[in-house]
């Protein structure tokens, strides 16, 4: 088998060479003269702002869309990639941020699905899956249902899928976005295993500390153009941030406490039985109770799938609770609709922006109205005021730095991070008394992350109560006044952010550590 790359990545052979890559869309230059060399047996990180062109570049390399200009070389041979099938044939595989697995199938069935011609679907396929799992330390259990797996295990299945199809160049898009620290460590161990066997990993991330810890080379892209490729030993997170956005990396610190003695949200004995989903008889929510005061940020930490999504949906009225009380400023919301709860003063940043936050094929100004159809400035005398909606959308674009030509662009045309900034701007513009924020900075760059933190902190100083759900434990610790850990539908520990570490939170989230 191939051996690990030498200490200097520049001494290794080039696995991927991109030269002069350009891609334009109506009103947008996504890529402009991109030049990158990815060496064999290395981990190459690509960082940049939202809208910098990273996703477009990876879609070009994976054959999803063709470049308008430039050339792609794989292992020294120029290739034309017209589809993902072409990319897979050339040895390129991609693991997307949003996993593409069928929950009701086993791990083995998910891996083999669509690639039956390689090794069939029987003993030969199983043997190959186990060979790959053992060779790269993936720890796969082929007969387990995917719905039974945690997020980290699902990600390893996705990696195994691309390796099973023969990939020697693996693209990972935001692979640590939903992982706890222990799972991040396991993933990085897997990536180093791939590297040691001569594979090349292209790693897209906004988490600069993680990039510095795992990458052999880092390419910074700004506004569609390569700025610089550096080795991690010669650069700091602050310097990377400056290359990306022209300013130093901020801290999410909340500074002075703004918590008042006035309870804004009170939840009592909230419960959801298992018949809402296939959960093996375990309640989705089991007698959850808490309060949030005006000016307070309550952070919820938990491995994905432990009830935080159901908690949010119950408070929003999207999923009626079996039992329990939900009060906002003393008013019982339990029987009110989602629209009424919004009108009562709840802002909502959803976990899945594309499914629950946007109409992808509608223009941005129409997306500005979503959830606010009954309130100015979008509505006047019961009718949609298009001019006012466009003007206010333009304000959000300006204040939240949404990279787009204007309010008439379709939401689908925006990068994921810019979609997120639009949603945050929309929800903060409604002047809510309570903001439910599910992963508010997931998939956004350091500049946008800083802006979102600032908006939340400013509103908190003015009395906003925030229920914050985040997989970024540094963000939870930095922004929250209190942190509750949720495990299997129950609150199992309360922590003071001033004295807790991400590792201790991660242990509590997995049930491995003591709670406070």
Question: Per residue in 158-180, pLDDT tens?
Answer: 889 999 999 999 999 888 876 77
Asked, for residue 1, whether it belongs to a domain, the answer is no
pLDDT score at 304:
78
Token pair of 40 as six digits: 């064999």
Token pair in block for residue 160:
């195994």
Query: Are residues 406 and 510 both part of a single domain?
Result: no
**DSSP codes joined into one string, 326-383:** EEETTEE-TT--HHHHHHTTEEEE-SSIIIII--TTSBHHHHHHTT-TTSTTTEETTE
310-319 burial code (b ≥16 CB/10 A, e <16): bbbbbbbbbb
27, part of any domain: yes
Tokens 């939202």 locate to: 50
Burial class (CB in 10 A: 0-12, 13-18, 19+), 193: middle
Residue 141 lies in a domain: yes
User: Looking at residue 495, what DSSP letter applies?
Assistant: E
Do residues 305 and 151 lie in contact, with contact meaning Cβ atoms separated by under 8 Å? yes
Strands 346-349 and 434-438: parallel
- Average pLDDT value for residue range 88-114: 89
* 76 and 214 co-located in one domain: yes
Q: What is the pLDDT of residue 367?
A: 94
Is residue 393, in this structure, part of any structural domain at all?
yes
Indicate the range of 228-232, 328-332, 469-473 predicted with least confidence: 469-473
pLDDT at residue 258, rounded to an integer: 83
Question: Would the pTM count as exceeding 0.85?
Answer: no
Residue 4 placed within a domain: no
**Structure-token pair, residue 149:** 């797996």
What six digits make up the tokens of 497? 């952010």
Cβ-proximal residues to 233 (8 Å cutoff; 6+ apart), any chain: none
- CATH number, domain containing residue 92: 3.40.50.300
Q: What is the pLDDT of residues 125-156, one digit of tens each?
A: 999 999 988 888 888 899 999 888 877 788 88
Identify whether residues 172 and 233 lie together within a single domain.
Answer: yes
Helix intervals (H) in 165-251: 181-196, 208-214, 237-245
Helix count (H) and strand count (E) of the chain? Answer: 17, 22
Distance in angstroms (rounded) separating the CA atoms of residues 69 and 114: 31
Does residue 465 contact residue 296 with C-beta atoms inside 8 Å? yes
437 shares a domain with 425:
no
| pLDDT value, residue 250 | 53
Q: Are residues 514 and 478 in the same domain?
A: yes
479/427 same-domain check = no
Structure tokens belonging to residue 359: 């109409």
Provide the pLDDT confidence category of residue 432 given band limits of 50, 70 and 90.
Answer: very high
2 in any annotated domain: no
End residue of a domain, out of 431, 461, 480:
431
Same domain for 231 and 83: yes
Beta-strand pair 331-332/346-349: unpaired
Instruction: Give yes or no: residues 187 and 40 share one domain.
Output: yes
SS3 sequence, 219-242? EEEECCEEEEEECHHHCCHHHHHH
- CA–CA gap between residue 389 and residue 378 (Å, rounded): 5
pLDDT of res. 183: 79
Residue 179 forms part of a structural domain: yes
Q: What angle do CA 40, 44, 46 make, to 5 degrees?
A: 145
Same domain? For 203 and 274 the reply is no
Q: How confident is the model at residue 238 (pLDDT cuts 50, 70, 90)?
A: confident
Which residue has 């891609």 as its token pair? 23
CA angle (432 as vertex; 426, 433 as ends), nearest 5: 160
Domain that holds residue 388: 354-431
DSSP 390: H
Closest alpha carbon to 304 in 507, 130, 486: 486
Instruction: Extract the tokens encoding 466.
Output: 């925030």
Question: Tokens at residue 17, please?
Answer: 């060479």
Residues 417 and 492 in one domain: no
Phi, psi of 370 (to 5 degrees): -50, 125
360 and 391 in a common domain:
yes
451-501 tens-digit pLDDT: 888 888 888 999 999 999 998 888 899 899 999 999 989 999 999 998 888
Backbone Cα Rg of the chain: 23
- What is residue 503's predicted lDDT score, i.e. its pLDDT? 84
255 pLDDT tier (thresholds 50, 70, 90): low
Of residues 491, 495, 438, 486, the one with CA closest to residue 268:
491
Q: Please, what is the average pLDDT of the chain?
A: 86
> What's the confidence (pLDDT) of residue 36?
96
Angle at 472 (CA atoms; ends 470, 475), nearest 5 degrees:
90
For residue 433, give every residue at least 6 positions away whose Cβ sits within 8 Å of its Cβ, in sequence order, or none: 264, 294, 328, 329, 345, 346, 463, 464, 465
Pair (205, 262) in one structural domain: no
**Count of domains for the chain:** 3
Determine contact, residues 17/72, Cβ cutoff 8 Å: yes
Those residues whose C-beta lies under 8 Å from the C-beta of residue 300, and which sit 6 or more positions away, are 308, 311, 467, 468, 469, 483, 484, 485, 486
Residue 500 domain flag: yes
Is the confidence at residue 1, as pLDDT, over 50?
no
* Domain C-terminal end among 192, 224, 245: 245
Distance CA 198, CA 183 (A): 23
Identify the domain boundary among 407, 431, 455: 431
> What percent of the chain shows pLDDT beyond 70?
93
CA distance 404 to 137: 43
284-323 pLDDT, tens digit each = 899 999 999 999 999 999 887 788 989 999 999 998 888 9
Planar angle of CA 399, 400, 405, nearest 5 degrees: 90
Distance between CA atoms of residues 366 and 411, nearest Å: 9
């Amino acid at each position: 088998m191939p051996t690990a790359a030498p200490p200097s990545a520049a001494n290794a052979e080039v696995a991927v060479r991109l030269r002069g890559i350009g891609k334009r869309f109506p009103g947008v230059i996504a890529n402009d003269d991109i030049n990158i060399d990815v060496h064999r047996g290395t981990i190459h990180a690509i960082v940049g702002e939202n809208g910098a062109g990273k996703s477009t570049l990876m879609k070009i390399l994976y054959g999803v869309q063709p470049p308008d200009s430039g050339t792609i070389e794989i292992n020294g041979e120029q290739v034309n990639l017209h589809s993902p099938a072409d990319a897979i044939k050339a040895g390129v595989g991609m693991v997307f941020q949003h996993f593409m697995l069928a929950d009701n199938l086993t791990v083995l069935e998910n891996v083999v699905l669509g690639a039956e011609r390689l090794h069939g679907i029987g003993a030969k396929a199983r043997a190959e899956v186990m060979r790959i799992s053992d060779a790269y330390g993936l720890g796969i259990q082929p007969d387990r249902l995917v719905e039974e797996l945690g997020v980290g295990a699902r990600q390893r299945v996705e990696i195994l899928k691309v390796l099973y199809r023969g990939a020697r160049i693996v693209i990972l898009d935001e692979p640590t976005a939903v992982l706890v620290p222990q799972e991040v460590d396991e993933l990085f161990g897997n990536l180093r295993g791939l590297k040691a066997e001569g594979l090349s990993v292209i790693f897209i991330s906004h988490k600069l500390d993680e990039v510095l810890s795992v990458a052999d080379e880092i390419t910074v892209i700004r506004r569609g153009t390569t700025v610089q490729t550096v080795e991690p030993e010669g650069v700091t997170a602050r310097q990377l941030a400056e290359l990306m956005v022209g300013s130093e990396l901020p801290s999410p610190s909340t500074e002075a406490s703004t918590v008042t003695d006035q309870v804004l949200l009170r939840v009592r004995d909230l419960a959801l039985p298992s018949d809402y989903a296939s959960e093996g008889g375990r309640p989705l929510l089991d007698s959850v109770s808490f309060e949030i005061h005006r000016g307070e940020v309550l952070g919820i930490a938990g491995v994905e799938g432990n009830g935080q999504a159901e908690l949010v949906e119950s408070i929003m009225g999207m999923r009626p609770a079996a039992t329990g009380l939900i009060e906002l400023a003393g008013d019982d919301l339990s029987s009110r609709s989602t629209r009424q709860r919004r009108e009562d003063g709840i802002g909502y940043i959803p976990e899945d922006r594309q499914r629950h936050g946007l109409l992808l094929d509608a223009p941005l100004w129409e997306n500005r109205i979503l959830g606010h159809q009954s309130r100015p400035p979008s509505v006047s005398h019961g009718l949609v005021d298009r001019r006012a909606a466009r003007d206010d959308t333009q304000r959000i674009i300006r204040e939240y730095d949404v990279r787009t030509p204007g309010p008439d662009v379709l939401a689908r045309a925006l990068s994921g991070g810019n979609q997120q900034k639009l949603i945050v701007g929309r929800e903060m513009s409604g002047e809510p008394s309570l903001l439910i924020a599910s992963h508010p900075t997931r998939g956004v760059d350091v500049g946008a992350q800083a802006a979102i933190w600032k908006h939340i902190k400013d509103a908190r100083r003015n009395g906003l109560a925030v229920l914050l759900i985040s997989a970024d434990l540094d963000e939870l610790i930095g922004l929250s006044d209190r942190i509750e850990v949720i495990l299997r539908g129950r609150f199992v520990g309360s922590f003071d952010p001033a004295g807790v570490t991400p590792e201790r939170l991660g242990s509590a989230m997995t049930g491995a550590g003591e709670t406070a």
